[in-house]
Amino acid sequence: MSASEDEQLGAVAKAVERNSRRVSALDALVRQLAGDLAEVAAALTPAGEAPTAVRSWMLAQDPEQAVTDLADLIAWTRRVYLRYPDAVLSACWLWHPDVIEELWWLRRAHAEAFDPQAGTWPRVGDWHERQRPGVAKRVRAAIGTCELSLHRTGTAHARPAAPAPLAEHAELIAIAWTKDALAPRPEPTDEQLHEADIHTRQQHRRT
């Protein structure tokens, strides 16, 4: 082997050695970044509690998720909500979707307020001072003296949710609004006024 070939072979060997050291350093950096990301993820997740996406009970579509949410909510009401003297739940509270909705957001607000990383004492104070009493008041008003027997077929609480009144005229309002938001809304027709009157009388009969 000539001297020139020896020099070339030596240069290749050195280059391979340098690349090997760089790969090792890069591998160590990747492992360090992975560890850092794991620490960040752990910091963003409340201790002992998986993060929960903002979702509405009234818009629930996944049965398995709904079952999980209710189980979580029931455990929380027993552990936290029902410890307060003004917190009352009738036997039929599960038949009131508005009540579940109120309690569900209050439960999540409680989790955020006491989150070991993101929670703050002002949030905790707001939960105690404003959020919890407000929900307790609205839940009592929604349930009132209701009982489970009032949810059987033919009773007032067994009726389906009422449609939005005069909804068939929404297209007219939408077109007028997008055409000129500062213009007055279309003047109600005699037909629309008659429909509104019927709706008002029905509402009075239900109360």
Over range 12-16, report the average pLDDT.
64
DSSP conformation letters of 41-60: HHHHSPTT--------GGG-
Which sign does the torsion angle of CA 63, 66, 72, 78 carry? Answer: negative
**Mean of pLDDT over the chain:** 82
pTM of the model: 0.66
Q: How far apart are CA 151 and CA 140, in angstroms?
A: 17
Nearest CA-CA partner of 139 in 95, 102, 91: 102
CA neighbours closer than 13 Å in the CB half-sphere of residue 149: 1
Q: How far apart are CA 153 and CA 116, in angstroms?
A: 47
The b-or-e profile of 1-24 (16+ CB within 10 A means b, else e) is eeeeeeeeeeeeeeeeeeeeeeee
Indicate whether 28 pLDDT > 70. Answer: no
Indicate whether 140 pLDDT > 50. Answer: yes
Nearest CA-CA partner of 169 in 179, 159, 160, 177: 177
Supply 95's token pair.
Answer: 């038949």
* pLDDT tens digits, 43-80: 444 444 555 688 899 999 999 999 999 999 999 999 99
Q: How far apart are CA 161 and CA 97, in angstroms?
A: 11
Total length of the chain: 207
Q: Give the CA angle between residues 202, 203, 207 to the nearest 5°.
A: 120
| Residue for token pair 């739940």 | 89
